[in-house]
Chain A
Amino acid sequence: MHIKTMPTLYEVDIFYRKVLLDDRINGFFEGVDMDRQIAKQKSFLTMVFGGPVSYSGQDMRRAHAHLVARGLNDTHFDAVVENLGASLAELGVAAEVISEVAALAETTRADVLGK
């Protein structure tokens, strides 16, 4: 597949804005530093675009543990994947590529939710 492997900041903005506007999940982002969050969203998008990543499944577990403690569950994960799909659709990415991206995002579910 590979639409490409590095997202642009414009693409990161579109995705992050959708996440912040989504009342199902934006509570988890209250009070977080925008710059750091944007950097994290960028590495997340790099990963689901099939690009190089510099963190392990263990890192993902550790980074989300405090959110799991606050109730982060499958419905929230689904909402993020949904926002990802909607962002890519808005950017004109083809449907079959979006499903491949969603499949890559899916590989992180167990680590993110600490299962």
Chain B
Amino acid sequence: MSSANSITLDWEGSPVPCVEGDTVLDALLRAGIPVPHSSCLVQARSGPVPAAAQQGLKESLRAQNYLLACLCRPEQDLSLAPPGQGVRITALLTERDWLSDTVLRVRLAPDESLGHRPGQYLTLFRPDGLGRSYSIAGPELELHVRRIPGGAMSNWLAEAQPGQAVTLQGPAGDCFYTPGDPTQPLLLAGAGTGLAPLYGILHDALGQGHQGPIWLYHGALNERGLYLTDELQALAAQHRNFEYRPALLDRDGPLPEVISRDHPKLTGWRGFVCGDPTIVNLLRKRLFLGGMASRAISADAFLPATLK
């Protein structure tokens, strides 16, 4: 254990000595550890994180014990890691069912907890090493997989049998609910399987007793692109503060415009936007122009597999 003037840091399992008055960055650099980010962002796995080391960080990053190595003067031993790597575990596929013509729900039982927040994502690896990233749609490991014609992973998952073992790495991403102000109005918007993280965030917010209004917009080209409609309508009937708004391009027009019509002013709101990068950028801009603060908008843009 440490005395007042000798603190030991742990970097991914290796000890790093830290002299009193050093910042974490000083200690890492002296130990020859290349700090992974120009922003000097690292993640604490255990140990108390001094508040000063989280100054200016988003609430979602603070909640995951991120800290700025250049600002952190540790007072006690700290165990640290590069940002966003998560853990690597194995899991069994327990259940799969079709939520629509093209969206497959996959449920997984991990052999140890991933420690995720609903709305974050993980990377799933087949036994042959092929990996794809998916958002986590709830407190349990539930994924919404869009079947892509010729898609190696989605077609494999569509055929995989319960009991199939896979490897998971994660969690990653900062698109998740943080209690903060339980009366703040929330706007959740996404298209396609962008619903997966939003569904997770919605359940998390309702489960944590969020009292402010929650609006969920799910955009699709037409009726066939929607899924979980019965579940969402049931939730809306059950929770007075929750509104479910499916938005169909061929009936209602573009999703950002549907939102603008319902909510011309979004000052003071918090937003979550998920889906492919084009729609995510349009939605972010729309929410921002509506008056939402830039840092109150969490975005998760799904990149095509080749870019990940």
Contacts and interface: CB of A to CB of B under 8 A. Distances in A.
A43 B195 CA distance: 35
Nearest to A12: B294
B258 interface: no
B289 interface: yes
A92 interface: no
Contacts, number: 25
Interface of A: 9-10, 12-13, 16-17, 20-21, 31, 33-34, 38
Interface stretch (B45-53, B159-167, B280-288): B280-288
B292 to A, nearest CB: 9
Given A17-B291, A21-B289, A38-B294, 6 more contacts: A9-B293, A16-B294, A17-B289, A33-B281, A34-B285, A34-B288
A27 B46 CA distance: 47
B285 A13 contact: no
A13 B289 contact: no
A91 B291 CA distance: 15
A28 B271 CA distance: 25
A16 to B, nearest CB: 7
A69 B281 CA distance: 25
Interface residues of B, number: 9
A32 to B, nearest CB: 9
Contacts of B240: none
Contacts of A33: 281
Q: Considering the complex of A and B, which 4 residue pairs feature the smallest CB-CB distances, nearest first?
A: A13-B294, A38-B294, A34-B284, A13-B293
* Of B291, B293, B294, most A-chain CB atoms within 10 Å: B294
Given A9-B293, A9-B294, A38-B294, A17 B281 contact: no
12 contacts: A9-B293, A9-B295, A10-B293, A12-B294, A13-B294, A17-B288, A20-B288, A31-B281, A33-B281, A34-B284, A34-B285, A34-B288
Interface in B119-143: none
Interface in B269-308: 281, 284-285, 288-289, 291, 293-295
Contacts of B284: 34
Contacts of B289: 17, 20-21
Contacts of B293: 9-10, 13
A17 B293 CA distance: 10
A38 B285 CA distance: 12
